[in-house]
Structure 1
Amino acid sequence: MPAHTRITGVGTAVPPVSYDQPELLEMFGVTDPSIRSIFLNSTIERRGLTLPPLLPDRSAAAETQGELLAKHTREGVRLGREAVLACLRDSGQDVRDVRHLCCVTSTGFLTPGFSALLLKDMGLSTTCSRLDVVGMGCHAGLNALASVAGWSRYHPGELALMVCIEVCSAAYVFDGTRRTAVVNSLFGDGAAAVAVTTGGPDPSSPGPELMRFGSRTIPEAVEAMRYVWDEQQHKFSFVLDARVPYVVGAHAEEALERLLAGTGVARSGVSHWVVHAGGKKVVDSVRVNLGLSRHDVRHTTGVLRDHGNLSSGSFLFSYQRLVDEETVTRGDIGVLMTMGPGSTIEMALARW
């Protein structure tokens, strides 16, 4: 019997300071009713963000692109370290056990990347293999997890870690426009890590087996989500097209059918849905198109409410809530789903 590749631990981290939407509107002096409504109707209550100290007039200080990149590096290492340590505690392992480290980010560009910075910061083995997945966007957590699972299958019994590190406040542009307001109302800072092992000393691990991965890219919507250089602000800026929820929702059913094809698993046999907290309209569109109940996406909407969209690590925050709920039983089937630029839908089939 082949050894199973499983998730054996999870850990998350967010900044020590969080803000509600009215606080952010006041800090950035937003008075336009249409922009205020974007913030206040997002269903997001609070988000952890790393913002500079307020100026004497209680307004937010502007940050240069250099300052934003420095924040991405500094806070990314801190959040990544915290998430990895929490994950190792959950899996009952130690930093010295890590043999492969994959870091995911889309909120800044570094060379060397977070995998090298964390290896040095945390004292990981200098023979630990590394991978950095940079710039793919919100769906990248599952792309990276597929790669980590592949590494794990060729190194049975050895510990692999994936950590998604997103300092979204390092990718903010505040220019008073509706375009940037959509992004600024949505994203929060956070990191999430998972431990992955194939076989090993405890094959009865309660973590889910990663059975299969699936991808669906929608080339005709390649411009719907993109990271661009803003010439006026001299900063990188993220763009979200209004059609994103509809593009994702319209292709979700096809992506799910391809994931389940040939597995013997019917849609009705899926007990748990771990969906990226992309935003209220995105989650609603996925829910309607896949015929899911509000209960099915309760962890996703809870993460969105408490943290906002955490980009590539959002689905792991939802996964952790599912684990903490302690309602999963052996043999249950789950689907993990992320969405992002490309436009892309990623899915994984898991079995406890």
Structure 2
Amino acid sequence: MMPTPSPSASMYFRGVGTATPPARYTKAECLDAFQKSEWFARLDARAHFVARTVLQRDNGIEARRLAVDALAEVFQIDPNTLAKRFLAHAPKLAASAGQRALVQSGLHAGDIDAVVVSTCTGYLCPGLSGYVVELLGLRADVQAYDLVGQGCAAALPNLQLSRALLTGSTCVHVLSICVEVSSAAMYLDNDPGVLISACLFGDGAGAAVVSRQCQPVGRRIAWTDSTSLINPAERPALMFEQRDGMLRNILSRAVPGLAADHAHRVLNTVLGRAGLGTADVSAWIMHAGGRDVLLALERELGLGPRDLRYSAAMLHEYGNLSSAFVYFVLEAALNDAAPDGWWWLSSFGAGFSCHGALLKVSA
């Protein structure tokens, strides 16, 4: 008999939804567009080599969804164009994912008591939450929160806040949304980290309806425990900086090792409190920064490729979706009828930060 953690309050996933722009671009198409762009001539031979290496070798990514009608638009890189792209697509993607989560939950817009929206690829004031309230027709008295600046790790802090709202207020149902328009945070120069990140990230949104009450039918997905680890000393390894009025991604070679180490420490903390071991986890819902990150996670956690198959599959088809990614992985595991039991949900990113949550899934 499996030991059971004793959470102070329960949070259940009632519905999960995802959304992406319709345009799908393969890495071969991205390389061709880059070589035809004006930017190709602006960058040096080493930059050409880095881009070709990433986009031609097996890097775990085959395609990405980008919020542009043609790849040539990606190379229109100026503050006004990028800001307009974020405003045009982030609210719609967030609302689309939220609507799908609502439908799956069996609830209506009027049932939602709070909405929490995370992003790091653009800035709006009023924030994205107001657009989501408008597009989904949420109540005028809904509690609305915008979280920014947490990078790829943001899904778990978003859900941790959602749980706090369910525990400490009158909220019964909360809508959690992460949305990233990475094509609105494009930056190019000769730095290898900048070029690699430009080749990895895609656009998309993920959402979950979480509640005090579980689904009346189907699977029960209960949030039982979680923890976080934030290490400011490693902040320079992975972060955005403002340059020329735009966001420039800093991506270092240390990231795979940092991700694996921090993920292991967070996992051990929560599993230790529950009296569980790695072998007790039946499904792994992990953020995937890239193929090298997945390989580092396998080594550090003692896992095999099959354990991280959902993360690898989502990375292959969508690229790194930043904060939205783990919703896609969770949806893939549910659609594949992954075995009941203990599921591990984890995200990591800028900060350097890492978060993990233990879920109990049952029929």
Give the TM-score taking structure 1 as reference length: 0.92
CA–CA distance in 1 between the matches of 2:81 and 2:15?
Answer: 34
Shift in alpha-carbon separation, 1:152–1:204, aligned structure 2, 3 A:
farther
Residue in structure 1 matched with residue 68 of structure 2 by the alignment: 51
Shift in alpha-carbon separation, 1:291–1:119, aligned structure 2, 3 A:
same
> Relative to structure 2, which stretch is displaced further, 303-312 or 90-99?
90-99
The SS at the match of 2:208 is strand
The SS at the match of 2:61 is coil
CA–CA distance in 2 between the matches of 1:216 and 1:243?
Answer: 17
Residue in structure 1 matched with residue 201 of structure 2 by the alignment: 187
Residue in structure 2 matched with residue 39 of structure 1 by the alignment: 55
Selected match of 1:300 from 311, 317, 340: 311
Answer whether contact 1:15 1:49 (CA < 8 A) is retained: yes
CA–CA distance in 2 between the matches of 1:138 and 1:347?
Answer: 13
Q: Which amino acid aligns with 1:336?
A: L
Matches within 5 A, 1:90-109: 90-109=104-123
CA–CA distance in 1 between the matches of 2:338 and 2:321?
Answer: 24
Shift in alpha-carbon separation, 1:4–1:49, aligned structure 2, 3 A:
same
Answer whether contact 1:13 1:190 (CA < 8 A) is retained: yes
Q: CA deviation at 1:183?
A: 0.8
1:333 aligns with 2:342: yes
> Relative to structure 2, which stretch is displaced further, 187-196 or 120-129?
120-129
Answer whether contact 2:77 2:187 (CA < 8 A) is retained: no
Q: Which amino acid aligns with 1:166?
A: E
The SS at the match of 1:222 is helix
Answer whether contact 2:283 2:338 (CA < 8 A) is retained: no
Aligned identity (percent) is 28
Q: CA deviation at 1:179?
A: 2.9
1:135 aligns with 2:144: no
Q: CA deviation at 1:60?
A: 5.6
Selected match of 2:173 from 139, 143, 159: 159
1:72 aligns with 2:72: no
Q: CA deviation at 1:48?
A: 0.1
CA–CA distance in 2 between the matches of 1:15 and 1:154?
Answer: 36
Residue in structure 1 matched with residue 3 of structure 2 by the alignment: none
Selected match of 1:324 from 313, 335, 338: 335
The SS at the match of 1:262 is helix
Shift in alpha-carbon separation, 1:244–1:327, aligned structure 2, 3 A:
closer
Q: What CA deviation, in whole Å up to 9, does each residue of 1:93-150 have, x standing for no partner?
A: 1112111100010001111111011112222100000111111100011011011011
Shift in alpha-carbon separation, 1:205–1:133, aligned structure 2, 3 A:
farther
Give the TM-score taking structure 2 as reference length: 0.89
Structure 1: gaps of 5 or more residues: none
The SS at the match of 1:227 is strand
Answer whether contact 1:160 1:195 (CA < 8 A) is retained: yes
1:274 aligns with 2:280: no
Residue in structure 1 matched with residue 23 of structure 2 by the alignment: 17
Equivalenced residue count is: 344
CA–CA distance in 1 between the matches of 2:71 and 2:352?
Answer: 37
The SS at the match of 2:113 is strand
Selected match of 1:147 from 136, 157, 161: 161
The SS at the match of 1:239 is strand
Selected match of 1:227 from 225, 228, 240: 240
Residue in structure 2 matched with residue 211 of structure 1 by the alignment: 224
Answer whether contact 1:101 1:160 (CA < 8 A) is retained: yes
1:6 aligns with 2:12: yes
CA–CA distance in 2 between the matches of 1:157 and 1:167?
Answer: 29
Shift in alpha-carbon separation, 1:54–1:102, aligned structure 2, 3 A:
closer
Answer whether contact 2:310 2:333 (CA < 8 A) is retained: yes
Q: Which amino acid aligns with 2:351?
A: G
CA–CA distance in 1 between the matches of 2:115 and 2:66?
Answer: 25
The SS at the match of 1:208 is strand
CA–CA distance in 2 between the matches of 1:86 and 1:52?
Answer: 24
CA–CA distance in 2 between the matches of 1:187 and 1:262?
Answer: 35
CA–CA distance in 1 between the matches of 2:74 and 2:173?
Answer: 43
Q: Which amino acid aligns with 1:285?
A: A
Residue in structure 2 matched with residue 263 of structure 1 by the alignment: 274
Answer whether contact 1:224 1:243 (CA < 8 A) is retained: yes
Q: What CA deviation, in whole Å up to 9, does each residue of 1:299-350 have, x standing for no partner?
A: 0000000000000010110000000011333xx0011010101111110011
Structure 2: gaps of 5 or more residues: 1-5
